[in-house]
Structure 1
Amino acid sequence: MPTSAKSENLKASHPDKSIEIKTSAKDVVSSCDIVFSMLSTPEASAAVFDDAANGTLAGVSSSSVIIDCATLAESDMKRMSDQVTAKGGTFLEAPVSGSKGSQAVFDDATVQAALDAMGKASHYFGEEVGKATRAKLVVNSLMGTMMAAFGESLALAESLDLDGSKMLEVISQGAIASPMFALKGPKMLKKDHAPNFPLCHAHKDMKLAVDAAKSVGTEYSVTQMAEETFRKAREDEELKVANEDFSAVFEKIHKESKSDYSKKRKLG
C-alpha cells in the first residue's frame, strides 16, 4: 500500500487525534519539534534524508530534533548526525528491537517522553553516535542466527519422524525456551510466514553485523553461515520469500534438505 494511503487510513482510524498529513519530509521537519524516521534500508533512508528540495535535512533548523529508528550502518548514522548538528539541530540514534506490539528502544540521548511512547523500554549507550546501532546489530545478528538454527532443528525433527508440535512443547519447557520460538514455531510448521519482520530486512541487518565483526576483528563464522542462509533464501526466485517473515528461512532449509520428509514437504 502506498505511504499516502497508509497515512490517510491512519488519520481516518484515529478521528480523536490531531493528525496532519504532509507531502514531504521537509514539510514534516519544518512543522515539528521532534521527528521520528524509520526507513527499511540505507538506500531508502539516504533518499529521504538527502533530497535537497524536499528531504529531511532540508527542513532542519536549530530547534529540530531528528530521531532515527532504522537499523543502518554506523557510518550512515554518523553522517546524518554530523549534517543535522551542522545546521544547529539535534540528532538522536534510536534503533528499535521488536515487531508489531512492544518494542525496545536503544537510544543515545534523552527525549524520554517521546521514546517512552515508542517502546516499552529504552537503553542508553552514551553520547557517541554509533553505539546504539552496534547494540541493535548485536541483537539482530543473534536473532537471525537463532532463527536459522531453530529452522534446522525443526527440519531435523520432522525428518526424524518426530511430531513438530510436540517438539515445540519440549523446547518450551527447557533451558532453551524462547519467546521467539514459541511465537514463530507453530506458524513455521504450517508454512505461515505472514511478515512481521521481512526476511530481506533480517538479511540486511545480518550483513551489517558481519561487516561490523570484520571491522573489529572478532570471530563471526557462525553469524556468517546464518547470514549466507538468509542471503540464499532472499535470492531464491523459486521460493520468493524475500518479503515474507524472516521465519521463512525455514522454507529454504527444507528446500536444501534431501530427507524424505523435506522432499514430500516440497510437493505439499
Structure 2
Amino acid sequence: MSANMSANPSDLRVGFVGLGIMGQAMAGHLLAAGHPLRIYNRTRAKGDALVERGALWCDTPAEVAASSDVVITMVGFPSDVEQVWLGAEGILKTAQQAVLIDMSTSSPALAQRLAAEALTRGCVALDAPVSGGDVGARDAKLSIMVGGDEAAFNRVLPVLQLMGSNIAHAGAAGAGQHTKMCNQVVIASTIMGVSEGLAYAKSAGLDPERVLQTIGSGAAGSFQLNVLGARIVKGDFAPGFFIEHFLKDLGIALSEAERMGLKLPGAALARQLYEQLATRGLSRQGTQALYCHYVQE
C-alpha cells in the first residue's frame, strides 16, 4: 500500500467513478468529510455539483486512479465494471498501491477476477455492493457487504463508514457479491408481497395509507413496505433503484443458484413479472412499479 495508507484516514485521496442516483450522494459524503476527491462519470454534467463543492473532474477512470489511494466504482452492469476497471482507460491502467473498491452489484466471478488482476498491479481489490437505495445513499445509512482481503477492508473502513451504517466483511473475494445476491433474493419476494397486499387493499375498498400505518409497525414492516409501499400509495414510481438494474441482479442470482443446484421460485417469478414490465417500457422506473402489474394506474 502507498505510504498515505498509514496516514490520517481523512487525508486519503479518494477517486469515485459512477455518479448515478446513489453514486452522487455517496461521493458527496466523502467530499464533505474532507477527502481530496477525484471523480469521473460518462455524463459529465452529473459531476458538476460535486466540482462546485471542490471535487476534481477527471476525463477518464485511469486519470482518477493515477493519483488516488482509494478508488471506488459505482456503475450499472458487469460490462460497465469491466470497462472502467479493465478497459483501455480503466483504473487498473494507472492505479498504484491502491485499494480498489467496486460498490456496484456485479457477479461474484467478476469480483474474483478483478481481485486477481489487481494483485498483479500491486493493488488490492474489494467487492463491496450496497443496499439501501437512494434513501440509504442520501442518509449515509447504506448496508455495505464486503468481500476480499480483510486487512485492506480494515484500512478503508473509515471511508466506508462515511457512506454506510451497517458494514460487514463477508469473506474472500466474491463474498460481498454473494451476500448482495441473498439481499436481492429476499427483496424479490418481499416487493411482490408488498405490491399484492396494497393491490388487495385497493380492491377491498380500504384506505391504502391507513393500511400502511397499521401493518407497517407489525410483523410485515420492512423497507419495502414502509418506504416503497408509501411511494406506491402516492403513485410515485420514480427510481430509487431501476427495474433494469434489478433484472440484472436477479439474472446473476438465478444463474449462481442454478450453478449451485438451487431452485429459487420466488426470485424466478419476480424476474418474470419485471420482464413483463420492461416490455411495457417501464425498465427505467423504480422497483416499486411492480405494483403496476397488479393494478392499472
- Please tell me the TM-score bracket, short chain as reference: 0.7 to 0.9
Inter-partner Cα distance in structure 2 for 1:65 and 1:4: 25
Inter-partner Cα distance in structure 2 for 1:222 and 1:206: 11
SS in 1 for 2:100: strand
Range that drifts further, 158-167 or 95-104: 158-167
> Which of 223, 229, 245 is the aligned partner of 1:185?
229
> Which of 80, 91, 94 is the aligned partner of 2:128?
94
1:161 CA drift (Å): 2.2
Report Cα offsets for 1:8-57 as digits up to 9, x if no partner: 22121x2xx4x2111111111111011001111112112222222x1112
What is the aligned partner in structure 2 of residue 30 from structure 1? Answer: 66
What is the aligned partner in structure 1 of residue 94 from structure 2? Answer: 59
What is the aligned partner in structure 2 of residue 71 from structure 1? Answer: 105
**2:145 paired with 1:106:** yes
1:121 CA drift (Å): 2.1
Contact 2:103–2:128 (Cα < 8 Å) also in 1: yes
Inter-partner Cα distance in structure 2 for 1:204 and 1:131: 18
1:197 CA drift (Å): 1.0
Contact 2:188–2:266 (Cα < 8 Å) also in 1: no
What is the aligned partner in structure 2 of residue 234 from structure 1? Answer: 278
Amino acid at match of 1:68: D
Inter-partner Cα distance in structure 2 for 1:189 and 1:58: 48
1:149 CA drift (Å): 1.8
Identity of counterpart residues, as a percentage?
Answer: 24
Inter-partner Cα distance in structure 2 for 1:205 and 1:253: 22
Contact 1:148–1:229 (Cα < 8 Å) also in 2: no
Q: Which has the higher strand share?
A: 2
Amino acid at match of 1:209: A
What is the aligned partner in structure 2 of residue 123 from structure 1? Answer: 168
Amino acid at match of 1:134: H
Contact 2:68–2:95 (Cα < 8 Å) also in 1: no
For residues 141-160 of structure 1, what are the structure 2 equivalents within 5 Å? 141-160=185-204
TM norm structure 2: 0.78
Report Cα offsets for 1:107-129 as digits up to 9, x if no partner: 13322111112211210112x11
Contact 1:106–1:123 (Cα < 8 Å) also in 2: yes
Contact 2:239–2:284 (Cα < 8 Å) also in 1: yes
SS in 2 for 1:120: strand
Kindly report the root-mean-square deviation, in angstroms, between the aligned alpha carbons of the 2 structures: 1.7
Extract unaligned runs of 5+ from structure 2.
1-19, 21-41, 148-152
How many residue pairs were aligned? 246
